[in-house]
Amino acid sequence: MLGDVEAIPAMLTVIDTDPGIDDALALLLAWGSPGVRVDALTTVAGNVPLAAAVTNALRLMALRRPTPAPRISAGAEQPLVRPLWTAVKYHGADGLGDLPGWPPVDVDLVPRDAVPLLLDAARRYGPDLTLIALGPLTNVALALRADAAAMRRIARLVVMGGAVDVPGNVTGTAEFNIYVDPEAAREVLDAGLTVDVVPLDATRQATITRAELEQALGRTPGPLADRIAAFTERGFRVDLGRGSPGMVLHDPLAVGAAIDPTLVGWERVRLAVGDGGETRRASGDPNCRIARTVDLPRFRTMLLDRLCPADRGAS
Ligand code: RIB
Ligand code: CA
């Protein structure tokens, strides 16, 4: 947490995440962004069960050694009312490409206090806080249930999720994060927060090729660069196998749009969440804005310049 005398950084954020290969790149982007302070990571079951999400948050912290080191907290191990549906087919059983050789981490050291942590950050930082949600919205919904007034103090909630005018990636109409917990997404959109949604409409445009990533990592060789190349390999293999021109950067684009909202073109809409995880336009006052277009060259440059900074790459 920020001390009383420390200046508020350009962007103070808490990231709720279900790491996940693209979550990992999103965290590295946030940690490598000047003026961005990641005060805490709250983990949620989604891509992988909660224990694996916590393990991966600890692994990435140990790999990247961000300063200051964000607090890590464990949150919901399943959606509000449904059984958990994971994405291990994409991310691997462990969520980071099933690589050998990660140093051991101790998940028992991580407190199970994501909701109190989110509420404490909302009460402490309020209009200076941007909350970024990269997984199912279970933790955010539980925090709203506990104290909606506190959560409404935050400046913005940026959500990677949804498929508005494009097909879903779980079903023809549902995107994964919303599909896993549509009840949570509905409660979040109806809570009166300032919500920026970065859906598949935008994220599918955000791809990088292996060559682009290898060229960027080649500028800062070392253990961090090697590990990034290794854990992204599965992402490339699956996305290229699905016909994508490169790896699709869902969560990194959400972090990029949180840091620099001019990276994407926004549209204010009212989104309704269907029981099958659909996110469709509805009549009535807007409850969010959705990202629809992407300034790809600027986003790619932002990501590739920040993933593996020189002072972390070699050591
Ligand atoms: O649909 C993409 C989203 O689902 C991303 O957040 C990815 O990490 C998975 O959680
Ligand atoms: Ca995610």
Residue range 77-97, pLDDT digits in tens: 999 999 999 988 888 899 999
Q: Is 250 a catalytic residue?
A: yes
pLDDT tens profile 263-275 = 999 999 999 999 9
- Ligand 1 pocket test, pick from 60, 171, 176 with the greatest ligand atom count within 8 Å of Cβ, gives 176
Per-residue confidence (pLDDT) for residue 106, from 0 to 100: 95
The CA distances from residue 95 to 20, 47, 99, 113, in Å, are: 5, 7, 10, 22
pLDDT tens profile 7-39 = 667 799 999 999 999 999 999 999 999 999 999
pLDDT tens profile 31-60 = 999 999 999 999 999 999 999 999 999 999
Distance in angstroms (rounded) separating the CA atoms of residues 57 and 73? 9
Distance in angstroms (rounded) separating the CA atoms of residues 91 and 75? 20
- Ligand 1 pocket test, pick from 203, 239, 250 with the greatest ligand atom count within 8 Å of Cβ, gives 250
Q: Give this prediction's pTM.
A: 0.96
The structural domains of the chain, ordered by start, are 11-306 (3.90.245.10)
pLDDT of 3 > 80? The answer is no
69 Cα: distance to centroid of ligand 2 (angstroms): 20
Query: Using alpha carbons only, what angle is made at residue 305 by residues 223 and 26, rounded to the nearest 5 degrees?
Result: 75
pLDDT of 194 > 90? The answer is yes
Query: Could you identify the atom of ligand 1 that is nearest to the CA of residue 87?
Result: 9
pLDDT of 312 > 90? The answer is no
Query: Could you identify the atom of ligand 1 that is nearest to the CA of residue 169?
Result: 1
114 Cα: distance to centroid of ligand 2 (angstroms): 16
pLDDT of 116 > 90? The answer is yes
pLDDT tens profile 195-210 = 999 999 999 999 999 9
Average pLDDT estimate for 224-234? 96
Per-residue confidence (pLDDT) for residue 15, from 0 to 100: 98
Distance in angstroms (rounded) separating the CA atoms of residues 112 and 61? 18
Query: Could you identify the atom of ligand 1 that is nearest to the CA of residue 170?
Result: 1
Contacts of 310 (CB under 8 A, 6+ apart): 219, 220
Query: Could you identify the atom of ligand 1 that is nearest to the CA of residue 134?
Result: 6
Round the average pLDDT of the chain to a whole number and report it: 95
Contacts of 5 (CB under 8 A, 6+ apart): none
Ligand located closest to 181 CA: 1
Query: Could you identify the atom of ligand 1 that is nearest to the CA of residue 254?
Result: 6
The candidate with the shortest Cα–Cα distance to 73, out of 125, 167, 142, is 142
269 Cα: distance to centroid of ligand 2 (angstroms): 23
253 Cα: distance to centroid of ligand 1 (angstroms): 11
259 Cα: distance to centroid of ligand 1 (angstroms): 19
Per-residue confidence (pLDDT) for residue 1, from 0 to 100: 53
> Which residues have beta carbons under 5 A from ligand 2 (an ion)?
18, 20, 23, 134-135, 251
169 Cα: distance to centroid of ligand 2 (angstroms): 13
Contacts of 108 (CB under 8 A, 6+ apart): none
Per-residue confidence (pLDDT) for residue 8, from 0 to 100: 60
Which residue of the set 37, 250, 292, 300 is catalytic? 250
Ligand 1 binding pocket, CB closer than 6 Å:
18, 20, 22-23, 46-47, 87, 134-135, 160, 169, 175-177, 250-251
